């Protein structure tokens, strides 16, 4: 028998390739190998179940075979981030998450994962939080109502406790209201587009800041943009007011707070609040918009914080395709800015 080492090597490689394809074929995620023109070179078994692709589709353009406008647009835009929550072409109840991995020679590996169970769990969590908050609202209103009715002078022995009870029931009520706001924002996919008049909104924010500060801070406002926004007046007020109230609450007496409304070079606009307060160490900044994340729990509670303000800001801005920028230096102060794209800016008010 001729012992050809090249032949033996080729057989070994072919065996390994078959084993690799066999394993990839059995993966629960859909895998599709695409050539530089976006045509299907190979796909696994899950791709048939999730995308409706089979052997006969090899050599055909993916966009023709799958027929998803969302997927086509994502691929055309370069597919840098994952594409989430796309209904599977064959099964509308199945939701997919796509990612694209570049290979050599212009080829790409398209990965589609079934995330329906994850989305379902997320929905269960959202419903649970919304239901609990809703159920707590009525009993809390009753407790708070009765506490308000009791006159401290009528029960002198309970007077010191009464103040604390009222403050705590008010705080719980505020947490429940904030949780309900977050639930509403989370389930809301789109905004009712309305013109939001910014000049009166800025005046309201200054009044709110002054009421909260009680003369302890120097508060200034500057409107250089003279333009309005397209969005939800109620939600934008809530977001901006959270930033203003944080600036007041996290700035010691004698500090300065500046509220600004400015245009961006790209035609967008920026709402910012700068304070000369405690500031935030850099490692905390990426986590500030998580629910109940606090740099200092005691300071947040003392000043009446619910720990949900910046989560609300994040959701409101996401609904307006805007972003939150935070710059802060411990001991010097912070600037929180909401940056809106030019599509959201309405011509300067006359």
Site residues (CB under 6 A) for ligand ADP? Answer: 242, 246-247, 250, 275, 277-278, 280, 288, 293-296, 300, 305-310, 334
**Is 317:229 a contact under the CB 8 Å cutoff?**
no
The least distance separating ligand ADP from the CB of residue 325, rounded to whole angstroms, comes to 13
Sequence-distant (6+) residues with CB within 8 A of 227 are 198, 263, 269, 345, 346, 347, 348, 349
Residue closer to ligand ADP by CB (options 181, 334) is: 334
Residue with Cβ nearer ligand ADP (101 or 318): 318
Cβ closer to ligand ADP: 47 or 308?
Answer: 308
The Cα 44–Cα 183 span in angstroms is: 39
Report the candidate in 270, 196, 202, 272 with the shortest Cα–Cα distance to residue 230: 196
Q: Which is nearer to ligand ADP, 44 or 242 (CB)?
A: 242
> Least CB distance from residue 244 to ligand ADP, whole Å?
9
Burial zone of 22 (CB within 10 Å; 0-12 exposed, 13-18 middle, 19+ buried)? exposed
Looking at the Cβ atoms of 250 and 340, the one nearer to ligand ADP is 250
- In whole angstroms, how close is the CB of 185 to ligand ADP at the nearest point? 14
| Residues with Cβ within 8 Å of residue 195, at least 6 apart in sequence | 228, 229, 230, 346
CB of 247 to ligand ADP, least distance (A): 5
Least distance to ligand ADP from the beta carbon of 331, Å? Answer: 11
Shortest approach of ligand ADP to residue 316 CB, angstroms?
13
**Cβ at position 176, least distance to ligand ADP in Å:** 14
Q: Please, are residues 222 and 258 in contact by the beta-carbon 8 Å criterion?
A: yes
Tell me the closest approach of the beta carbon of residue 38 to ligand ADP, in angstroms: 44
Encoding tokens for residue 95? Answer: 């939701």
For 283-344, the DSSP string reads GGGGGTTSTT--S-HHHHHHTT--S-HHHHHHHHHHHTT-EEEEEEETTTEEEEEEEE-GGG
Under 8 Å CB-to-CB from 205, ≥6 apart: which residues? 221, 237, 240, 241, 244, 259
Our CB check for ligand ADP shows the closer of 249 and 344 to be 249
Of 128 and 292, the one with the shorter C-beta distance to ligand ADP is: 292
Place of tokens 């409107």: 223
Shortest Å distance, C-beta 111 to ligand ADP: 35
CB of 173 to ligand ADP, least distance (A): 14
The span from the CA of 48 to the CA of 56, in Å, is 11
Nearest residue (CB) to ligand ADP, 109 versus 175: 175
Strand partners, 260: 222, 272
Quick one: 108 or 249, whose CB is closer to ligand ADP?
249
Assigned token pair, 49: 């179940």
Among 121, 120, 112, smallest CA distance to 27 is for: 112
Q: What is the DSSP letter of 89?
A: S
Compare residues 146 and 292 and give the one whose CB is closer to ligand ADP: 292
């Amino acid at each position: 028998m001729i012992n050809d080492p090249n032949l033996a090597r080729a057989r070994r490689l072919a065996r390994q390739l078959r084993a690799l394809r066999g394993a990839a074929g059995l993966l629960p995620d859909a895998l599709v190998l695409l050539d530089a023109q976006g045509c299907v070179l190979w796909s696994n078994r899950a791709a048939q179940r999730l995308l409706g692709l089979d052997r006969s589709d090899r050599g055909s353009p993916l966009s023709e075979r799958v027929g998803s406008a969302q997927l086509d647009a994502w691929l055309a835009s370069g597919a840098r981030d994952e594409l989430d929550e796309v209904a599977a072409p064959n099964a509308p109840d199945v939701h997919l998450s796509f990612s694209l991995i570049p290979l050599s020679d212009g080829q790409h590996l398209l990965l589609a994962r079934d995330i329906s169970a994850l989305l379902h769990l997320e929905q269960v969590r959202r419903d649970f939080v919304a239901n609990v908050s809703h159920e707590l609202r009525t009993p809390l209103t009753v407790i708070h109502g009765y506490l308000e009715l009791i006159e401290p002078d009528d029960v002198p022995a309970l007077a010191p406790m009464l103040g604390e009870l009222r403050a705590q029931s008010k705080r719980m009520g505020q947490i429940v209201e904030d949780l309900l706001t977050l639930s509403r924002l989370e389930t809301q996919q789109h905004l009712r587009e309305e013109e939001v008049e910014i000049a009166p909104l800025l005046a309201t924010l200054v009044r709110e800041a002054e009421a909260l500060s009680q003369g302890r801070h120097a508060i200034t406002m500057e409107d250089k943009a003279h333009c309005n926004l397209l969005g939800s007046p109620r939600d934008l007020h809530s977001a901006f007011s959270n930033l203003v109230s944080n600036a007041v609450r996290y700035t010691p007496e004698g500090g300065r707070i500046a509220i600004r409304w400015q245009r961006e070079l790209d035609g967008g606009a920026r709402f910012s609040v700068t304070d000369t307060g405690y500031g935030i160490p850099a490692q905390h900044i990426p986590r500030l918009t998580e629910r109940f994340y606090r740099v200092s729990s005691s300071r947040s509670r003392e000043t009446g914080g619910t720990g949900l303000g910046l989560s609300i800001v994040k959701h409101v801005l996401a609904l307006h395709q805007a972003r939150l920028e935070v710059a802060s230096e411990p001991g010097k102060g912070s600037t929180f800015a909401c940056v809106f794209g030019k599509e959201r800016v309405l011509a300067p008010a006359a």
